[in-house]
Amino acid sequence: MKIGIVCPYSWDVPGGVQQHIRDLAEALIDEGHEVSVISPADDDTPLPPYVVGAGRAVPVPYNGSVARLSFGFLSASRVRRWVKDGGFDVLHVHEPGIPSLSLLACWVADGPIVATVHTAIPRSRVLLVTFPVLRTGLEKINGRIAVSEAARTTLVEHIGGDAVVIPNGVATRRYRKAEPLPGWPGTGGAIGFLGRLDEPRKGLSVLLKAFEILAPQRPGLRLLVAGPSSDASEILDKVPAELRDRIALLGQVTEEDKVRVLHSVDVFCSPNTGGESFGIVTAEAMAAGLPVVASDIDAFRQLLRGGQAGELFAVGDAADLARAAGRLLDNRARRAELSAAALAAVAQYDWSVVARDVFSVYETVVLGSTQVKVAAANGEFP
Amino acid sequence: MITDIVIVVAAALFIGVYVSWRAGRIDRLHARVDMAQAALDVTLLRRGAVALELATSGLLDPATSLLLAEAVHGTRGGDRPRDLAESDLTRALRAAFSQPGFRSSLTGKEGADELLAEVEAAAHQVFLARKFYNDMVAVTRDARRRPLARVLRLSGKAKAPEFFEMDDSLIGENTTTSLGR
């Protein structure tokens, strides 16, 4: 199938939507489909072969902050040309509710169109129902996908019509192999944590308390903590002074280093006390083949198959966490067992599986439809 | 003796008249600030209204329309302070108007020229009204700061007027657009 995907945000800026599109496109290409992505991008940005640049995105105020978006007649005519030359069987637009390429694509194209909504945009309702201009574009969408239940609710309430929920996938093979950081994991054992340090719901304080329990009996045990925080020294202040040099705070790490961090520890800990709908970081750790100790919240229980693919501990209970982590640290065979189980469990969230779900939406909307064409009524500009 | 009394009375009278004149002046300045503020308010509202009309006119592509409409929406009471929200609208308008070929893409469409001219005029009025308002505020604040005014509290309970700072350079300064005035 020939698939055209529209990305609303600048390709050179890291972001969740861009990453989603990259992983989806690559998974679809692996399945043997022909994929072309159009995205705003600086002219000198190196782009993967399947991405077509739509010109530089313009920084504009949007929703109280500055966003880099592509809009206007020139962008519209670029999308139009791309649609015309592409001969796509289906057009997949992302975030059509923000003023950028996706909305323009809906406007200039006719034919099977699938839209994915990533985030809730509460204010858009006013606008979406107000504008005939917007409505003509949005009404052309044949299939709607929401990446979460929350996004689906917004979509249903604000645009109308229903949507299928297809969550983000995990690009598992990207996590499979990496060089550990120098000196890690060492021989005394290492526990890893990823996430915002000063966000209480990420639960770092629970892990630090558990480390206080574990550390005295295991003189070589270390803690590797990666993630942004407003004040890292404040985090360490809570830990007894003699343990501080056994905790490495890396701050915010790049996507690449994140994988290295995962391969630098023996056990990964997700001490979240709530607020997780899926647990992407935990899934990534599983994809790296790490034995996981996670708090017993809904998202993790599901991800770890009720404890078969990782240890669960009572939410917020440092002593229970210490017990569970201790068991793993002291038992190499159990770690290997959980590592294999984690890899098997996370496979169902791999992009190859998720892309197949997306593809079945494509198949549904192309039924009885022709190729994507340039709309006759709109988009005629010099 | 008599002449001394006359001089003292005359001096007291003179000082009284002078002080009351100063107080009256400060009062008048505050009133003029209020008027200038009302005028600024009207021009901002007018600019928002015309910008929204442009956004919903169907003349622009939907992305630019949505961008403008969101910006106008932001100026109508949101959590964002007014000066920032109005500056956002300026930047959104600037982004729309500074697209290469923006004007030529609209020529010949019915009502386009009038509407663009109206947006430009409204934006220019904001620029002028804000300038006048800030001038008034400067003069008033200066008058309030004088020692006599401070010691005798000539401005009474009236609050010191605040300057209104925002990005209103839709036209010209930061961009080389066809919008130059």
The ranges assigned to domains in chain B are: 22-151
Average pLDDT, chain B: 86
Taking residue A366's Cβ as centre, other Cβ atoms within 10 Å add up to 20
Contacts of B150 (CB under 8 A, 6+ apart): B144
Among the partner-chain residues A61, A70, A137, the one whose CB lies closest to the CB of B88 is A61
Length of chain A: 382
Residue A381 located in a structural domain: no
Output phi, psi for A248, to 5 deg: -100, 120
Among the partner-chain residues A62, A74, A132, the one whose CB lies closest to the CB of B70 is A62
Residue A382 located in a structural domain: no
Contacts of B77 (CB under 8 A, 6+ apart): none
Query: Does residue A106 sit in the same domain as residue A241?
Result: no
pLDDT, one tens digit per residue, over A172-205 is: 888 888 888 888 887 888 899 988 887 788 888 8
Residues of chain A predicted below pLDDT 50:
129, 379-382
Query: Does residue A149 sit in the same domain as residue A186?
Result: no
Query: Does residue A121 sit in the same domain as residue A143?
Result: yes
Query: Does residue A181 sit in the same domain as residue A275?
Result: yes
To 5 degrees, how large is the angle CA B7–CA B12–CA B17?
A: 125
CATH number of the domain that A217 lies in? 3.40.50.2000
Length of chain B: 181
Taking residue A179's Cβ as centre, other Cβ atoms within 10 Å add up to 9
One pLDDT digit (tens) per residue for chain B, 181 residues: 788 889 999 999 999 998 888 888 888 999 999 999 999 999 999 999 999 999 888 888 888 988 898 889 888 877 788 899 999 999 999 999 988 888 888 888 888 889 999 999 999 999 999 999 999 999 999 988 888 888 888 877 878 899 999 998 865 444 433 333 3
Query: Does residue A185 sit in the same domain as residue A308?
Result: yes
Query: Does residue A204 sit in the same domain as residue A305?
Result: yes
pLDDT of the residue at A378: 54
Name the residue of chain A whose CA is nearest to B102's CA: A73
Quickly tell me which residue has 């442009």 as its tokens.
B54
The CA distance from A81 to A38, in Å, is 11
For residue B100, list chain A residues with Cβ-Cβ distance below 8 A: 74
Quickly tell me which residue has 């663009």 as its tokens.
B116
pLDDT of the residue at B128: 92
Query: Does residue A183 sit in the same domain as residue A123?
Result: no
CB pairs under 8 A between A and B: 95
Query: Does residue A207 sit in the same domain as residue A343?
Result: yes
Query: Does residue A60 sit in the same domain as residue A113?
Result: yes
Whether B95 and A134 lie within 8 Å, measured CB to CB: no
Which is nearest to B100 in space by CA: A380, A71, A105? A71
Note whether A123 contacts B: Cβ–Cβ < 8 A: yes
Residue A379 located in a structural domain: no
* Residue of A68, A69, A98, A127 best to disrupt the B interface, most CBs of B under 10 A: A127
Whether B96 and A69 lie within 8 Å, measured CB to CB: no
Which is nearest to A275 in space by CA: A299, A240, A303? A299
Query: Does residue A30 sit in the same domain as residue A165?
Result: yes
pLDDT of the residue at A3: 95
Residue A380 located in a structural domain: no
Output phi, psi for A113, to 5 deg: -125, 130
pLDDT, one tens digit per residue, over A43-74 is: 888 899 999 999 888 888 887 778 888 998 88
Distance from CA of A40 to the nearest CA of B (A): 14
Whether A104 and B104 lie within 8 Å, measured CB to CB: no
Residue A28 located in a structural domain: yes
pLDDT of the residue at A360: 92
The CA distance from A161 to A217, in Å, is 59
Output phi, psi for A258, to 5 deg: -60, -45
Query: Does residue A123 sit in the same domain as residue A177?
Result: no
Whether B66 and A64 lie within 8 Å, measured CB to CB: no
* Residue of A108, A128, A133, A378 best to disrupt the B interface, most CBs of B under 10 A: A133
Distance from CA of B39 to the nearest CA of A (A): 26
Among the partner-chain residues B58, B73, B102, the one whose CB lies closest to the CB of A133 is B58
Whether B63 and A62 lie within 8 Å, measured CB to CB: no
Cis status, amide bond into B147, omega within 30 of 0: no
Taking residue A331's Cβ as centre, other Cβ atoms within 10 Å add up to 13
Whether A72 and B79 lie within 8 Å, measured CB to CB: no
For residue A69, list chain B residues with Cβ-Cβ distance below 8 A: 63, 67
User: Do β-strands A58-62 and A65-69 pair in parallel, antiparallel, or remain unpaired?
Assistant: antiparallel
Distance from CA of A77 to the nearest CA of B (A): 10
Query: Does residue A69 sit in the same domain as residue A94?
Result: yes
pLDDT of the residue at B179: 39
pLDDT of the residue at A379: 45
How many distinct structural domains can be found in chain A? 2
Grouping H, G, I as helix, E, B as strand and the rest as coil, residue A302 is helix
Taking residue B25's Cβ as centre, other Cβ atoms within 10 Å add up to 14
Quickly tell me which residue has 């009236």 as its tokens.
B158
User: Residue A112 is part of which domain span?
Assistant: 2-169+352-374
